[in-house]
């Protein structure tokens, strides 16, 4: 007993001093999450130390109920301390990863990415993990996911569960989760179909759309392609049948994000790969962002490399070579994303005295030296912000929301506060974001909103890809073999 009490007293004094130091730490000296965890652990230790001393020095089996209660509480406190220690370790890994992401973001804004010998910017950002789960766990999960994907694909390869439509089907998809530029590519394909005098129907899943409301991508398609029918529902096949049975004129179906949606047979499979996030630097979900391994490209008819403006010639050549190793007969097309124009919106009163967003000036580029607040909730925000940085305008602040995020009151208030704080001359956001944020900003935004019109510019392969679409819609036997995209075709 006489040994336990002095040791417990010293331990209590040390622990009390530790808690006082934590309390007096200046703001910013320690991450708030780490401080909360360690403060909770310290207070649990403050209770565990005297109770442990009592258990060792005073509690005996002469009073069994007291002995059991004391040690049950001590064991519970020790378990809680150990749990908080594990939580602290996980939180530390999270903070380290966040710090790395922040360092990249700062480097990107400051233009510190590497330069290729030709002067082209090379984005060297590694593909980050989509989850905070430790790698040794996600590695096993990705392996299991890969087995499942292989099994599902074998079933589809045999034609099980696959429906053939009466009209040609063109799929635009990708290997990875997130943004690779599908929307502007879908628009390009739809316009190619229209140029041939045919009427396309865009079928999509309607990801994260509220019940009874249009999702951001559906609104974007309808705005960019007036007169083109769009069906957005999880059961795409049912939606397509409903549109056709309802009398809609449909000569061709375009599947938006359709590479993995194999329940519908397709006659032309176009797969997009973001040059700044090559598959060989990625991994299968959940360790990485890949929905399927690179070998799945073998069932595609054409591959379109997007965002080539974000990499150097050497990286582009390496990616092209990797794609061709998946299947030597591939037709590999290369494109960059460009802003074809910028639509201005500024709040004004309509003829009834109500606030509205009339279309203002249509700009060729962002005005020089304009202070711009950039806002987006897309899969690849780096590409959007790099376009602002490459203009003569000044990107004063970035607001990045998760892909497909809705613009609630908190988000809208954050945008308005940042615009005022940074003395922004305008807010710049994608069309996909504008269709969700315009109602919340109406009547409250005092600066113009600039909405770029995103298009794709082909560097190679445009005529070949257009020829495949023309061939598909212009012959009786419309099915294109995977080898028809080769250089010899």
Half-sphere exposure of 279 (CA within 13 A, CB side): 27
Percentage, residues of the chain above pLDDT 90? 51
| Cis geometry, peptide bond prior to residue 301 (ω within 30 degrees of 0) | no
Determine the Cα–Cα distance for residues 89 and 112; give it in Å rounded to an integer. 31
Determine the Cα–Cα distance for residues 93 and 20; give it in Å rounded to an integer. 26
207 and 323 assigned to the same domain = yes
Total domains in the chain come to 3
Task: Provide the domain limits for residue 205.
Answer: 135-337+458-485
167 and 275 assigned to the same domain = yes
Pairing of strands 331-345, 449-460: antiparallel
Q: Across all residues in the chain, what is the average pLDDT? A: 84
353 and 367 assigned to the same domain = yes
441 and 468 assigned to the same domain = no
In a domain, 100, yes or no: no
468: CB partners within 8 A, 6+ apart: 268, 301, 302, 331, 480, 484, 485
Residue with tokens 């770029």: 452
In a domain, 402, yes or no: yes
Q: Are 405 and 375 in contact (CB under 8 A)?
A: no
Determine the Cα–Cα distance for residues 454 and 215; give it in Å rounded to an integer. 18
Q: pTM higher than 0.85, yes or no?
A: no
322 and 466 assigned to the same domain = yes
Digit-coded pLDDT (tens) for 362-372: 999 999 999 99
Pairing of strands 302-306, 331-345: parallel
345 and 479 assigned to the same domain = no
In a domain, 122, yes or no: no
CA-wise closest residue to 135 among 294, 291, 288, 293: 288
Digit-coded pLDDT (tens) for 184-216: 999 999 999 999 999 999 999 876 656 667 877
384 and 319 assigned to the same domain = no
Q: What is the CATH number of the domain that holds 375?
A: 3.40.50
Q: Are 270 and 485 in contact (CB under 8 A)?
A: no
* Positions of the chain with pLDDT lower than 50, given as ranges: 103-125, 475-489
pLDDT of residue 212: 65
In a domain, 118, yes or no: no
The CA distances from residue 71 to 58, 152, 429, 479, in Å, are 12, 53, 60, 75
Please enumerate, as own/partner, the contacts of 32-36 that have beta carbons within 8 Å and a separation of 24 or more: 33/91, 33/95, 34/88, 34/91, 34/92, 34/95
Q: What is the CATH number of the domain that holds 156?
A: 3.40.50.300
CA-wise closest residue to 202 among 265, 257, 245, 255: 255
Determine the Cα–Cα distance for residues 471 and 482; give it in Å rounded to an integer. 14
Q: Are 120 and 267 in contact (CB under 8 A)?
A: no
């Amino acid at each position: 007993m006489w040994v336990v009490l002095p040791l417990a007293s010293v331990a209590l004094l040390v622990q009390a001093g530790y808690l006082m130091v934590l309390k007096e730490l200046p703001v910013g000296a320690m991450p708030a999450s780490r401080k909360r965890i360690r403060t909770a652990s310290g207070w649990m230790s403050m209770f565990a130390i005297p109770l442990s001393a009592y258990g060792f020095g005073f509690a005996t089996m002469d009073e069994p109920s007291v002995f059991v209660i004391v040690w049950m509480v001590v064991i519970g406190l020790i378990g809680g301390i150990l749990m908080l220690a594990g939580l602290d370790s996980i939180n530390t890994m999270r903070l380290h990863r966040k710090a790395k992401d922040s360092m990249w973001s700062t480097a990107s804004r400051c233009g510190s990415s590497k330069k290729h010998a030709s002067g082209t910017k090379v984005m060297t950002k590694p593909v980050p993990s989509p989850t905070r789960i430790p790698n040794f766990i996600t590695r096993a999960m990705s392996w299991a996911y890969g087995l499942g994907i292989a099994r599902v694909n074998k079933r589809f390869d045999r034609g099980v569960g696959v429906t053939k439509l009466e009209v040609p089907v063109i799929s635009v998809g990708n290997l990875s989760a997130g943004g690779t530029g599908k929307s502007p590519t879908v628009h390009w394909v739809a316009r190619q179909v229209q140029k041939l005098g045919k009427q396309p129907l865009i079928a999509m899943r309607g990801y994260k759309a509220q019940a009874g409301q249009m999702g951001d991508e559906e609104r974007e398609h309808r705005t960019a392609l007036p007169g083109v029918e769009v069906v957005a529902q999880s059961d795409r096949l049912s939606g397509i049948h409903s549109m056709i049975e309802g009398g809609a004129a449909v000569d061709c179906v375009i599947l938006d994000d359709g590479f993995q949606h194999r329940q519908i047979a397709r006659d032309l499979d176009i797969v997009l790969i973001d040059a700044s996030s090559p598959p060989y630097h990625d991994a299968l979900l959940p360790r990485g962002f890949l929905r399927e391994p690179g070998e799945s490209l073998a069932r595609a008819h054409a591959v379109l490399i997007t965002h080539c403006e974000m990499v150097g010639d050497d990286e582009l050549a390496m990616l092209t070579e990797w794609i061709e190793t998946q299947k030597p007969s591939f037709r590999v097309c290369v494109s960059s994303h460009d802003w074809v124009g910028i639509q201005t919106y500024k709040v004004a009163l309509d003829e009834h005295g109500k606030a509205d967003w009339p279309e203002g000036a249509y700009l060729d580029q962002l005005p020089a030296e304009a202070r711009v607040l950039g806002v987006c909730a897309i899969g690849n925000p780096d590409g959007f912000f790099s376009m602002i940085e490459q203009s003569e305008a000044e990107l004063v602040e970035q607001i990045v929301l998760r892909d497909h995020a809705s613009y609630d009151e908190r988000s809208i208030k954050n945008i308005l506060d940042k615009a005022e704080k940074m003395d922004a001359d305008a807010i710049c956001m994608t069309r996909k974001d504008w269709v969700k944020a315009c109602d919340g900003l109406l009547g409250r935004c005092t600066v113009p909103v600039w909405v770029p019109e995103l298009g794709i510019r082909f560097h190679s392969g445009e005529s070949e890809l257009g020829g495949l679409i023309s061939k598909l819609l212009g012959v009786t036997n419309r099915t294109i073999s995977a080898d028809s995209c080769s250089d010899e075709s």
